[in-house]
Every structure is written in structure tokens, then in C-alpha cells.
Amino acid sequence: MRKSNDKVNHLEKNPEEGVLDLIHTVMHQYRSQQYQVLRDGPHDVTHMESKVLGYFGHHPGATQSDLARKTGRDKAQLARLIKGLRDRGLLAGEADETDRRNTRLTLSDAGQSIQRALQQQARRLNTKAVQGMQPEEQRELLALLNRLKNNLDA
């Protein structure tokens, strides 16, 4: 059974007021479909856990402190996430040779498998999302979204 989109927060009379609501809805759909592949498999991974796995997948041997600096997240929250991922065998840790107080983290084989599944699903969803759009339309959409981001950054 297909879920219907929530239309309560979409303002059709004043489109600029509904732009971010629509972007939020699209991202919700994306995340829901992205993580469905994991929910149907042996590992149930949350969005934040996938972000942590992604970070260590791109930065093998980084530390929890490196992740905290990069994300600005609370160190205690990250410690709980990392502990849970290590307990489930998705992250592996090794003491830093120069400072034994630090642990260098890498993806385990299971963590790498999850990361690959997420990347494959992301590619499928990106293709699905722009289905029927011409390359020029895709470039225009990216330009408009970057403009929104830059407006909010200012």
C-alpha cells in the first residue's frame, strides 16, 4: 500500500512559503526509501548511525574526536552511537599508536557491506528522482537548490 503525501503543510496560495516544506517532504521520502533496504535486511540502521558509518567509511582510522569536530555533535551522543555500532560489529577500533587514549575507528566487513548497500540505494533513488528530466533540467534544479542553500547560508 502506497503512503500518501502529507498535504497539510503545503501552501499552494503562496509558493515561496511552501518550498522548504516540499524539500522536507522529498527528503523524508528519500530517507524512508533509502533505509527500507536496511530495514528489510539483517541490520536496522538509523539515519545518524549511517552518517557515522559514512564518515568512518570516508575517513578510515579517524577518531571519535575527529567526528565530533567535523559534525559539531555532542560528544556523549557520538560516544553512544559509536559504542552501539562497535557492539553490533559494524565498527572496529584500534588504539592509536602515538596516543593510547585515542581509538582509531574503521568499518568492519559488515559495516562496509551496509555502506555499499546505502550507496547503491542512493544511486537508484537519485536516478528515480530525476527520471524524465532532461540533463539541462537537472542542472537547473541543482542550480536553484544551491541558490536556496546560499540564501540560507547568508
| CATH code for the domain in which residue 113 is found | 1.10.10.10
Q: Cell 585515542 maps to which residue?
A: 102
Are 83 and 4 in contact by the 8 Å Cβ rule? The answer is no
pLDDT the model gives residue 46 = 83
pLDDT the model gives residue 35 = 77
Is residue 112 included in any domain, yes or no? yes
Is residue 108 included in any domain, yes or no? yes
Is residue 142 included in any domain, yes or no? no
Is residue 49 included in any domain, yes or no? yes
Is residue 5 included in any domain, yes or no? no
Q: What is the C-alpha to C-alpha distance for residues 70 and 37, in angstroms, rounded to an integer?
A: 27
Is residue 146 included in any domain, yes or no? no
Q: Which among 2, 12, 59 is positioned nearest to 33, based on CA atoms?
A: 2
Across residues 120-148, what is the average pLDDT? 94
Three-state SS annotation for the chain? CCCCCCCCCCCCCCHHHHHHHHHHHHHHHHHHHHHHHHHCCCCCCCHHHHHHHHHHHHCCCECHHHHHHHHCCCHHHHHHHHHHHHHCCCEEEEECCCCCCCEEEEECHHHHHHHHHHHHHHHHHHHHHCCCCCHHHHHHHHHHHHHHHHHHHC
CB under 8 Å to 43, separation ≥6 — which residues? 88, 90, 110, 114
Q: What is the mean pLDDT of the chain?
A: 87
All cell numbers assigned to 93:
577500533
Find the radius of gyration of the CA atoms of the chain. Answer: 19
Is residue 77 included in any domain, yes or no? yes
Number of independent structural domains in the chain: 1
Q: What percent of the chain has pLDDT over 90?
A: 59
**Least reliable range by pLDDT among 9-18, 39-48, 65-74:** 9-18
Across residues 77-102, what is the average pLDDT? 92
pLDDT the model gives residue 13 = 58
Q: Which domain holds residue 82?
A: 15-133
73 vs 40, which has greater pLDDT?
73
Q: What is the C-alpha to C-alpha distance for residues 4 and 6, in angstroms, rounded to an integer?
A: 6
Across residues 21-37, what is the average pLDDT? 87
pLDDT surpassing 70 at residue 19:
yes
99 vs 54, which has greater pLDDT?
54
pLDDT bucket at 1, cuts 50 / 70 / 90: very low
pLDDT surpassing 60 at residue 54:
yes
Is residue 103 included in any domain, yes or no? yes
